[in-house]
Chain A
Amino acid sequence: MTIESPRETGAAVASLPSDDLLLSVRNLRTHFFSREGVVKAVDGVTFDVKPGEILGIAGESGCGKSVTSQSILRILPKNGKIVDGQILFRYGDQTVDLAAEDPDGRVMRDIRGQEIAMIFQEPMTAFSPVHTIGNQIIETIRIHQQVTKEEAHDQAVEMLRRVGMPNPARNIDEFTFNLSGGMRQRAMVALSLACQPKLLIADEPTTAVDVTIQAQMLELLRDIQADLGMAIIMITHDLGVIAELTDRVMIMYLGKEVEAGTVENVFHRPQHPYTRGLLSSIPKMEPGRVEIEPIEGSVPSPYAMPSGCKFHTRCTEFMAGVCEKRDPPLIEVAGGHEVSCFLYGGREDLE
């Protein structure tokens, strides 16, 4: 038996639940099939993104946050499949279910780069090492827009200027190995934003770079977002980044949403034991030595997922006879603040 989130019931197929949404991911399940077994990397995730909003998705490695983003763009590795759910996206004046599209078909190719763009973890490897950055930016523009080479070139230079490249007219003909780390980051952002997409997915853009560049990157994303007004999904394991940049946040654990809400609510009034654990494991800059409290245990093997609530094996508030029995329901504890935990209800028939 599965318990559906309240949002999902009664919604029509292939139309966005509300007019003011850009993206609505509903009950997404993405599984990986290998010889060792099935990995349920994303196992029933539901969230919405409004135009111009910054949503954070946070969690430990292996929680399914990157797979969620790859599912939206349909760029999963060969053995990954969306087995259930919908990814509704506002495309022009219609709504498309990205989960039902052919991953290499016309619609998906048109949407990639034009409507939804992605920034990846390592700026060094985002560009082909044997092509200039301009070559790849212009290519993206010309895939999606009917413009001449010269017009595309001008647009590319303009975008490089917007992301703060020191000398756009010259940088456009450079290769990535000629650029510094910070400039690569900027070039990568310019590449993603070449067609001014409505949604930008940033998959751990600050993970592989040093702190100065991290700070620059966050500032850049904030400026560009204010400038172009696109929505951003920020995927990271760094709660500091979430706090600094995003409006709302979803915390994931082993392919499931555990808690979601405004940054204010989730960070100051965390409800789920996992969220609380995450927040108390961050070192604090306070006078006197404050011990970090790590979460007990370690992430279970993806091939041997716990039954019921996925976190029950490490939870400090584990309730025997409840938590391991079935998935906890998503419960709204305050306006827009939802938690997936039996502590807040849904266990009545089990006790």
Chain B
Amino acid sequence: MLIYIFRRLLVMIPVMILISVIGFIIIQAPPGDFVSSYIAGLEAQGDIIEPELIDSLRARYGLGEPVYVQYWKWVSNFVEGDLGYSMVYREPVVDIIAQRLPSSFTISLFSLVLVFAIGIPIGVFSATKQYSLADYTFTLVGFLGVATPNFLLALVGLWLLFVWTGNASIGLYSPEMQNAPFGPAKFLDLLSHIWLPALIVGTAGTAELIRTMRANLLDELPKQYVTVARARGVKPTKLLYKYPLRIAINPVISTVGWLLPVLVEGEVLVSLVLGLPTIAPVLLRSLLQQDMFLATSIIMILGILTLVGTLLSDILLAIVDPRIRGSV
């Protein structure tokens, strides 16, 4: 098992290099670079640009040099922890990410918990009560959940919140809690704010999970080992959770990994609408304004998240399923 994890970690290295190359090339593809668009923007506003700053930036990141030289400079800085400088925010990229990634993570994590806490029980219920009124209702709700765009839900949620509480700003914390040290009180405050964005971000995922869970369980329930267990005198409840559920849940575990970056992506519009301080709106803005260090760094981090997530799911899967454990 340790060897397996080690081997997987080793394989991640070339994949990450590939991601960085592709990410870098895509960001570089549009004509011009961020310095020129930055200068153009400043000049349009009539600002005075310090030529020293521009020259030092150009030299530092090798702008104007061939792409592979630029890539190499960027990558060697990246590995050393220097993610570059954001021209849009006029801050080092590391600082921006450090400020915003935690809130993104928090929302994603809460979403994930909500997706599982709602999706799995409803999926199981739908499967055991197949073709009942409740099953049809959840199916309908599920399809609506998949089909409704996030931002629309966010707008509706925001409106409802405003109608009910007169408060239109959500944020992650109450103003008075913003700078308080983290403790039980701050956590409760977080809970009272985060459920709405977490729910909105997780809606599509929950709806999908209900469908997946239901289908997987319906596949397992008529299998012979369930009948055999029943014929041995196993109790009906145990017949559900010990055997079929255990197997039906495997595909769910294997998707945990790539659910993480999907949730971060899902945040983009929701965070914009709700005005949340997450990484997603920053990614959007950096892409629009060719803020290449910021954009590439975020893309790299999302890529690493996906890889780590996939590895985590595979390890989890190997733990719960002996068939996989045997072959690693």
Name A's B-contacting residues (CB within 8 A). Answer: 73, 75, 77, 104, 109-114, 117-118, 120-122, 125-132, 136, 139-140, 143-144, 175, 177-178, 191-192, 194
A-B contacts besides A112-B233, A120-B227, 6 pairs, CB < 8 Å: A75-B231, A117-B232, A127-B225, A128-B247, A130-B320, A175-B323
Interface residues of B (CB under 8 A from A): 222-225, 227-236, 242-243, 246-247, 320-323, 326
Residues of chain B within 8 A (CB-CB) of A177 are 323, 326
Q: Are B323 and A129 in contact (CB under 8 A)?
A: yes
**Given A73-B231, A112-B230, A140-B232, does the pair A126, B224 have CB atoms closer than 8 Å?**
yes
CB B246 to nearest CB in A, in angstroms, measures 6
What residues on A are CB-neighbors of B225 within 8 Å?
125-129
**B233 surroundings in chain A (CB, below 8 A):** 109-114, 140, 143-144
| B326-A178 in contact (CB<8A) | yes
A128 lies within 8 A of B224 (CB): no
The answer to whether A126 and B228 touch (CB under 8 A), given A177-B323, A178-B326, is: yes
4 closest Cβ pairs, A-B complex = A113-B232, A113-B233, A112-B233, A125-B224
Contact check, B323 vs A127: say whether CB atoms are below 8 A apart. Answer: no
Nearest CB of B to A328, in Å: 34
How many angstroms from the CA of A139 to the CA of B228 in the assembled complex? 12
How far is B226's CA from A127's CA once the two chains are assembled, in angstroms?
8
| Contact between chains at B247 and A130 (CB < 8 Å) | yes
Contact B230 A128 (CB under 8 A): no
Closest chain A CB from B321 CB (angstroms): 6
Beyond A120-B224, A127-B225, A128-B247, whether A113 also contacts B231 by CB under 8 A is yes
CB pair B326 A175 closer than 8 Å: yes
Partner of B230, one of A75, A131, A139: A75
A303 and B9 CA atoms in complex are apart in Å by 60
Q: How far is the CB of B234 from chain A (nearest CB, A)?
A: 7
B326 partner residues in chain A, CB cutoff 8 A: 175, 177-178
**B322 contact set on A, CB distance < 8 A:** 129-130, 132, 175
A331 to B234, CA, bound (A): 42
| Distance from B245 Cβ to chain A, minimum over Cβ atoms (Å) | 11
Closest-CB distance, B127 to chain A (whole angstroms):
13
CA–CA, A1 and B207, complex, Å: 55
Contact residues in B for A175 (Cβ distance below 8 Å): 322-323, 326
Which residues of the other chain, A, contact B236 by a CB distance below 8 angstroms? 104
User: Which residues does chain A contribute within 8 Å of B246, judged by CB atoms?
Assistant: 128, 130
Residues of B within 8 A of A143 (CB): 232-234
Query: Once bound together, how far apart are the Cα atoms of A336 and B88, in whole Å?
Result: 97
Q: How far is the CB of B231 from chain A (nearest CB, A)?
A: 5
Give chain B residues whose Cβ lies under 8 Å from the Cβ of A194.
Answer: 232
CA distance A111 to B233 in the complex (A): 7
| Set of chain A residues within 8 Å of B234, measured between Cβ atoms | 109, 139-140, 143
C-alpha spacing A145/B221, complex, angstroms: 27
Given that A129-B323, A130-B246 are known contacts, is A117 also in contact with B229, CB under 8 Å in the complex?
A: no
Query: Contact: B227 with A109, CB < 8 Å?
Result: no
User: Which of A109, A111, A114, A127 has a CB less than 8 Å from the CB of B228?
Assistant: A127
Instruction: Pick 8 A–B contacts, CB within 8 A, sort by A.
Output: A73-B231, A118-B228, A125-B223, A126-B228, A129-B247, A129-B323, A130-B321, A131-B242
Chain A residues, Cβ within 8 Å of B222: 77
Q: Could you tell me if B229 and A128 are in contact, using CB atoms closer than 8 angstroms?
A: yes
Report how far A125 CA is from B220 CA in the complex, Å.
Answer: 11
